[in-house]
Each structure stands twice: as C-alpha cells, then as structure tokens.
Amino acid sequence: MNSSMGKIRPSLAKMLAEAMNGCTGCGVCVRECAYLKLYGTPRDIAGSYDPVDSKNSSICFECSLCGLCTAVCPEGVDPQKLFLEMRREAVDRGKGSFPEHKGLLAYERTGMSRRFTWYGLPEGCTTVFFPGCALPGTRPAATMAVYEKLKESVPALGLVMDCCAKPSHDLGREQFFQQMFNEMTDWFKSHGVQRVLVACPNCYKVFSDYAPQFETKTVYELLAEITPERISDAPAVPVTIHDPCVIRFDEAPQGAVRTLIATAGHSIEEMPHARKTALCCGEGGTVSPLAPDLAGSWGALRVDEAAGRRLVTYCAGCANHLGKKLPVTHVLDMLCYTPKPSSGLITYVNRLRLKSRFKGTVPAAVTRERVNPNASRSGKLRPLLFLAALAAVIILVRVGGASQYLEPEKLRTLFAGFGVVAPLVYIACYIVAPALMFPGLPLSIAGATVFGPFWGVVYTIIGATLGACAAFLIARYAARDWVERRLVGSRWNKLDDETGKNGWKAVAVTRLIPLFPFNLLNFAFGLTQISFLQYAVATFIFMLPGTIAYITFSSSLLGVLKGRVSREFFIGIGLLVAVSLIPKVAAWYKGRSLQAPRPAVPWNLRRSLQRKAAVLAVLCLLSAGTYTLIRKFFWALDAYLYTIEFNLLFVASRLQDAELARFVEYLVPMSGMRAAGIALACQAMAAFAFPFSSLRTDVAFTSAFGTWTGMAYFAGADLLVTGVAASIGRFILGDLLPMYYRRKGKDTLSPAPIWIGWAAAALLAVPGIPLVLGALVVGGFRLHPGRSLAVMAAGVAVRALALLLTR
C-alpha cells in the first residue's frame, strides 16, 4: 500500500490488510486468471495499491469479479471482494467514471425507468417472479411461459419487471445501487412479499447478498420441483453446461438446471471448469468495454473447454455473449421452444410488449411503475435542456450568418417553383414517408414553414392519412410476410385482439395516445381485422389534434431560430402540452368510468314527445309575453333592439369585403356587455342564418379589441351559440338514438359513445365547417352534459385559434 494515499474506506483498508497478510503468493489463482497474470498476485496488487494514482486505481476495473480466485485460493483470501471495494473507493474519489461504461449504464437506466418497469401483485401475493432485464428482452415468450408454469404451484404469483441494478453494483456505484435496490425491496416488504423467484443468476446474487430478509430462489429450482414433462421434440444430444460465475457457490440452482436438462432428455458432459470453478463468459465485471482482450480471453477458454459440444447455460447475458463464439442454448430455450432469441434494439421492443402482455395477464390488485428519482430529475430538466439547446442553435444561426437561409419567404419562393403542384409534391412526400419508415417531423416543419399553419395542417393531415393508408395496404396485401416478421410478439397480438373487439376505437386510442411508433403502427393495423374504411376515417379524425399542435409549433420554428418569438410559438407549445395531456386525461376518465358505471335510463317515446310539446308551449308563451312587454312598456329597448337588428343586417350583407373597416370603426367605442352582446348576435347570425358564408367577424373583433380580447368575445359567443344549437339539436333529433338502440334490442336513454364526441369536436374545430353541424351532432347524439361541454369547448377553442392563425 502506498503510504501517501491518505484516508480510505475502512472496509477497503481491512480487505487490503487481509490480502497482505492472508495471501501467500502461491500463484494458484494467477494460473487461472489472465488479469492476475498481468498484474500479479492479490498481495502484489494490494501492496502497490494507490487510490490517488488514477492509473493504479483503475486496474481494478479490469477484473471480471468472477470469483474464481476466491474459489481456488487455499488460504481463504477473497480477492474478488477486494477488487470490488477498490472500485467503490475509485468512485468515491471521482476516478471511477469511464465513458466506455455509458452504454451499459444507459441500459440499466432504461431497465429501471417508468416505461420499462411494472409491478403487479395479485391479492394475497407473497411471492414474485423477477425475470430481470436480459431474459425478457431476448426471450419474451419463454419468460411468459415460465410465469404461467410457476403459477401452477404459486397461484397468487406476482410479477416484477425491473432492473436489480447489478451493473451499478459492479461498477462500484454503491450509493446509487443501494438507493435503487433498497427502494425496490422496501416496496416489496411493505406489500407483503416474502419470496423472490429470479431467472437471472445476477439478480439471484444481488437479492441473496443484499436482501436476506427475503427467500431468494431461482425459477430453475421451482421448475425442477414441478418436474416439467419433456415438451421438446428435439433429438437428445450430449451437452455441456456453463455455470454463470456469479452463482458458482450456489449448488441448488446448479443442480436444478442439470435436472431440467436431464428431464429434457439430454446427456450432460461436464467441462473441467464447472460449478464452483466455473469460468467467466467474458461479460463479468463489465470488463469488456475497458479491456476487451482480457474479457475475450475468458470466452476463448470457454470455447476450448466446450470442445464443439452444445453449451447450455441459464444466464441470458452469458448465452448472448458466448453465442457469438459457439452454439449456446439457454435452458429455457429447451423447455419453452424459443425459436431464435432476439438481440439488439428489438430486445427493448420485446420488453415493452411483454410488459403490456403481463399487464393484461397478471390479475394484479396492486400495481406500480417505478419512478427513478434520478431519471425523473433529468426528465423534469428536459424542457429546460430543450430550451437551452434551442437558444444555442439560435445563437449559432445568428452568429454564423445562416439566418439568411432561414427566411420563410425564401423557402416559399423556392417551393413556389413547383407552382400549383407544390401542395401535391408535399402530400406525395408524406404518402411515401411512412412506408419507408421516414420520420414525419422534418417534413412537418418544412410543410408548416412553406404553407403556414392552416394549409400546413390541411396538407399534412391529408398526406399523413394517405401515407398511413398506403402502409396499411402494403401490410395487408403486398408485404404481409415481411411485416409479420417485424411485428412478432405479444403486444402486437394484443393490438389485433383489441382491434377485433373494439374496431376503430383501437385506432382512435393509438392515434391520440402515442403508445406505438407511428410508422410501425400503420403496418401493424394492416395485419389486424379492422376494415380499411374504419381505419382511414379514424386515422384522419384522431390524428387531427396532434397534427394541429405540431404544425402550429413547427410553423414558428424558423422564426424562433432567427430570434423572433411569435404568438404561434406559444400557441404551438400550449397545444403540444394539451395533446401530451390526453393520455393522462384518458387514464383519469378510464379510472373514473370504471369506478362509477352509470345506470341506463329507460326511454319512452310518448313521454319524450309530451315533454317536447310542453317545452314548446312554454317557449311560445314566453316569447309572446316578452314581445308584448317590450312593445308596450319598453319602447326605448325596442328601439335599441331595432338598432342592433339594423346593424346586424348591415353586417350580414356587407361584411364580406370592403365594409369590414366600417364595422371595426363601429365596434371600437364599445366595451363590456355591449360588445359581448354584439359578438353573440353576430356569431349567432353567422351560425344560423349564414352557416356556409364567412362573416369575418373574428377579424373585426380582434382588430377592434386586440387579439386576445377579440378572440375571447367571438370564441365565448361561439360557445354559447354552440350550446344553444346543441340544445336545439337534442330537442329535434334526440329521440333518434334511443330509437336506434331499441331496434338493437336495448330500451335505453344512454348517450352515444365517446368517439361521437371526438368527431363532433373535430367538426367544430374546422373553421370552414358550419358551427351548427358539430353542435347538432353533440345534441342529436345525446352526449353526456359534461362531455358535451368538454367537446364544445375543445372544438370552439381550436376553431378560434385556427381562425387567428389564418387571418
């Protein structure tokens, strides 16, 4: 030990002393290990240890932490623990962070993220299955099969998809490891978990060493107890077994795996290094990124000892690593028919699909997705990072002189070269993009810049819908096999089930809530049972909110890059936030509807008609009375109403063109109730008397009162008018839906399904479509009052924004 090293962790000081005093330098371990051959006996390494010296303190990261030295040492020295403690010391001193480990840490972070974790505990659950990260990724079907099999002996079996944080453990990130692992085990304890069944030897090691309060057992032990029948038809062949090094001292799982292999009908020929003296596969201790030669030497030894025999192992990580060098089978491949384990990026997709399938399979009374406190901090920082990046790009653009190329006008002029076919070119690009898996965002930005927010939305929604339809048709008729090969797995199967049960609703949900990647989703629907027409219509309607949000935001991006922040930028951000809140609102609504099913009210046509007659009579009486009162006693008010009527007629007849300025002049002196009254009258007239013509009152009101006040006037008036029109619609058409229900055998007054509400909102949102049409849908389909209000408010708000952006 170097005397200048100062204060070190007491546990490390103790281990260094043990190595110095206990190791005789016999060299038994050195003969087994390429790392020790390079750096000397554990006593040599302990003697020259200097935590202050970065080079010296980093050599512990080249040890595979396999424990073979510990297993063979006749003196009972434990070098593996010493080298792990050295790693922790290096991390404490800020010398244990290597860029080569970033990939592995990202893998770990993903495994413990909210998106990838899922805990599901049924009622009375005391045992959970913890499959780890690698097995669900490479063998999702086998993982599910194991869960089903285990349930035969543990009916209330829980399921926990999470990462045990072994990578951080091995990299000496003790604090992080303890924080994450303890948070998980505390949750287990507080929910009555007593036993953990693991599939991965690394998880087994972590739970055994750091959570002694639980009984930790491998699934292989339980499977061996259940004695599975031999389900594989593969011919029995001699195999050899690779025991993962982390589990070298645990005879029970080693024996169980051998029992399972024998049950599968294969004969076992042991290698010289097996069980307690097993060799590392090369992946141990996260050595390979830093010292690939040392890591590779372990794999080479395994290949030599296997001598051409098929290797069977029970660690998905070992199988993956050794599988690049020789034929390797995971023991579960033998039991569960795994045709070909997945690798690369598809393993992440598999884990997400498996999570989704478990969510539908485990009868969970308690669930959770883990929030990594460290990850969530970075998640909260993401908007700030985005703004910082945007600011950096703006500065670069301005300082670098690139702003001259970002003039929307120049881009428009460039595009104008295509003449009238420019929109067609844009739409054609959008049609081809999804089939070629090209991301839509760059196209959207270009479209929004060139065509502006309104026509950008129109062309984009047309192009995106046609593109989604093209991919759908390719999957259904032209390249079904090709698509099927890419969409294997339970999640896509579930999508098929969902579509079979709920038809277009599955399309609606997946378009509104981006759970699936857009491009793959289009292909996936092509393989389901949904009709093309349903798919196309639902895609068009339910992509509209997201399209409006993205295009509005994108239309301002070039301006922002040049340092000009427009109102479209803020509106776009607001819309993006609103669209991103849809999943949360949907979850809230789903939970609410599950909690409180509304009883159906029986419908009676006669009673309904009697009620309508009564309402009509009261309305007539009220109108006649009001009219007489005004004419007789309030002649001034009558004159005032006449003036309003006169002005409205003027608006109706003249506001189309040059008279707009005169109307603005007329509005300017007004304020408060009077302005609101005029707005209401104008919008009512626009809605009922001239539904197909544009009175341009939105322009007049924003010019007279300013953007936001003017918008508040005409949007508020629109909402009131829509409410009245919806009431009229319900009054006139409201019996049609119960009649339809009765024909279907249901005597009920139940409101229409939610998709009708979305369709009404879409109709209300588009400025060119008469307001009363959407309102009639809202009323005629007897939407629930709360839902009606939400639909009308959303539709009118989007219409008002669209009008603002396009005038």
| End-to-end CA separation in angstroms for the chain | 78
The enclosing H or E element of 704 equals helix 697-705
Record the tokens describing residue 338, joined without a space: 């795994």
Contact call for residue 65 and ligand SF4 (CB under 6 A):
yes
Q: Which of 5, 12, 16, 23 binds ligand SF4 (CB under 6 A)?
A: 23
Sheet with 328-330, side-by-side order of all strands? 267-268, 238-242, 310-313, 328-330
Q: Which of 17, 21, 27, 307 binds ligand SF4 (CB under 6 A)?
A: 27
Which CB atom, from 246 or from 765, has the smaller least distance to ligand SF4?
Answer: 246
Q: Which of 8, 16, 18, 35 binds ligand SF4 (CB under 6 A)?
A: 35
Q: Which of 63, 121, 134, 165 binds ligand SF4 (CB under 6 A)?
A: 63
Contact call for residue 68 and ligand SF4 (CB under 6 A):
yes
Contact call for residue 75 and ligand SF4 (CB under 6 A):
yes
From the CB of 73, what's the least distance to ligand SF4, in Å? 3
From the CB of 230, what's the least distance to ligand SF4, in Å? 36
8 A C-beta contact, residue 320 and residue 134: yes
**What is the crossing angle of helices 785-806 and 697-705, to 10°?**
80
Which CB atom, from 67 or from 434, has the smaller least distance to ligand SF4?
Answer: 67
Sign of the alpha-carbon torsion through 224, 227, 232, 233? positive
Which CB atom, from 29 or from 651, has the smaller least distance to ligand SF4?
Answer: 29
Backbone angles phi, psi at 241, to 5 degrees: -110, 130
Widest pairwise Cα distance in the chain: 120
The enclosing H or E element of 217 equals strand 215-218
Q: Which of 13, 20, 28, 365 binds ligand SF4 (CB under 6 A)?
A: 28
Record the tokens describing residue 427, joined without a space: 């739409």
Contact call for residue 383 and ligand SF4 (CB under 6 A):
no
Sign of the alpha-carbon torsion through 702, 706, 712, 717? negative
Only one of the segments 63-71, 186-194, 478-486, 790-798 lies at the binding site for ligand SF4 (rule: CB under 6 A); that segment is 63-71
Enumerate residues 6+ apart whose C-beta is below 8 A from 458. 451
Contact call for residue 69 and ligand SF4 (CB under 6 A):
yes
Which CB atom, from 69 or from 180, has the smaller least distance to ligand SF4?
Answer: 69
Contact call for residue 278 and ligand SF4 (CB under 6 A):
no
Record the tokens describing residue 229, joined without a space: 């029948």
Contact call for residue 25 and ligand SF4 (CB under 6 A):
yes
Contact call for residue 318 and ligand SF4 (CB under 6 A):
no
Which CB atom, from 41 or from 372, has the smaller least distance to ligand SF4?
Answer: 41
Q: Nearest-CA neighbor of 273 among 236, 299, 238, 237?
A: 299
Which CB atom, from 31 or from 742, has the smaller least distance to ligand SF4?
Answer: 31
Only one of the segments 76-84, 446-454, 466-474, 667-675 lies at the binding site for ligand SF4 (rule: CB under 6 A); that segment is 76-84
CB atoms within 10 A of CB 567: 13
The enclosing H or E element of 118 equals strand 118-121
Backbone angles phi, psi at 41, to 5 degrees: -70, 165
Which CB atom, from 16 or from 558, has the smaller least distance to ligand SF4?
Answer: 16
Q: Residue 52: what residue type?
A: V
Contact call for residue 785 and ligand SF4 (CB under 6 A):
no
Only one of the segments 70-78, 480-488, 700-708, 797-805 lies at the binding site for ligand SF4 (rule: CB under 6 A); that segment is 70-78
CA distances (Å), origin 404, targets 44, 401, 408: 66, 7, 10
8 A C-beta contact, residue 799 and residue 718: yes
Contact call for residue 523 and ligand SF4 (CB under 6 A):
no
Contact call for residue 73 and ligand SF4 (CB under 6 A):
yes
CB atoms within 10 A of CB 361: 17
Contact call for residue 291 and ligand SF4 (CB under 6 A):
no
Only one of the segments 61-69, 471-479, 615-623, 666-674 lies at the binding site for ligand SF4 (rule: CB under 6 A); that segment is 61-69
Only one of the segments 20-28, 88-96, 526-534, 688-696 lies at the binding site for ligand SF4 (rule: CB under 6 A); that segment is 20-28
Which residue is it, tokens 């008397």?
689
Contact call for residue 80 and ligand SF4 (CB under 6 A):
yes
- Number of residues counted as binding ligand SF4 (CB under 6 A): 29
Only one of the segments 4-12, 69-77, 654-662, 764-772 lies at the binding site for ligand SF4 (rule: CB under 6 A); that segment is 69-77
8 A C-beta contact, residue 785 and residue 778: no
**Alpha carbon distance 376, 383 (integer Å):** 12
**Alpha carbon distance 468, 295 (integer Å):** 47
Record the tokens describing residue 408, joined without a space: 């929307």
Give the footprint of ligand SF4 on residues 489-508 (CB under 6 A). none
Q: Residue 589: what residue type?
A: Y
From the CB of 34, what's the least distance to ligand SF4, in Å? 8
Record the tokens describing residue 736, joined without a space: 């049609």
From the CB of 133, what's the least distance to ligand SF4, in Å? 23
Which residue is it, tokens 């054609």?
428
Backbone angles phi, psi at 748, to 5 degrees: -150, 160
Enumerate residues 6+ apart whose C-beta is below 8 A from 548. 457, 575, 765, 798, 802
Q: Which of 1, 13, 20, 26 binds ligand SF4 (CB under 6 A)?
A: 26
Q: Which of 2, 11, 21, 24 binds ligand SF4 (CB under 6 A)?
A: 24
Backbone angles phi, psi at 205, to 5 degrees: -60, -45
From the CB of 27, what's the least distance to ligand SF4, in Å? 5
Q: Which of 12, 15, 61, 79 binds ligand SF4 (CB under 6 A)?
A: 79
From the CB of 13, what's the least distance to ligand SF4, in Å? 18
DSSP symbols for 127-138: EEEE--SHHHHH
From the CB of 173, what's the least distance to ligand SF4, in Å? 19
Contact call for residue 247 and ligand SF4 (CB under 6 A):
no
Contact call for residue 20 and ligand SF4 (CB under 6 A):
no
8 A C-beta contact, residue 156 and residue 124: yes
Which CB atom, from 42 or from 757, has the smaller least distance to ligand SF4?
Answer: 42
8 A C-beta contact, residue 705 and residue 675: yes
Which CB atom, from 15 or from 778, has the smaller least distance to ligand SF4?
Answer: 15
Which CB atom, from 228 or from 296, has the smaller least distance to ligand SF4?
Answer: 296
Q: Nearest-CA neighbor of 1 among 15, 11, 12, 16?
A: 16
Which CB atom, from 86 or from 364, has the smaller least distance to ligand SF4?
Answer: 86
Contact call for residue 164 and ligand SF4 (CB under 6 A):
no
Give the footprint of ligand SF4 on residues 131-150 (CB under 6 A). none
**Alpha carbon distance 497, 96 (integer Å):** 49
8 A C-beta contact, residue 249 and residue 209: no
Which CB atom, from 36 or from 796, has the smaller least distance to ligand SF4?
Answer: 36
Contact call for residue 44 and ligand SF4 (CB under 6 A):
no
Contact call for residue 172 and ligand SF4 (CB under 6 A):
no
Q: Which of 16, 41, 193, 729 binds ligand SF4 (CB under 6 A)?
A: 41
8 A C-beta contact, residue 244 and residue 313: yes
8 A C-beta contact, residue 46 and residue 77: no
Q: Which of 49, 56, 59, 67 binds ligand SF4 (CB under 6 A)?
A: 67
From the CB of 322, what's the least distance to ligand SF4, in Å? 16
8 A C-beta contact, residue 779 and residue 733: yes
List residues near ligand SF4 by CB under 6 A. Answer: 23-30, 32-33, 35-36, 41-43, 63-69, 72-73, 75, 77, 79-80, 83
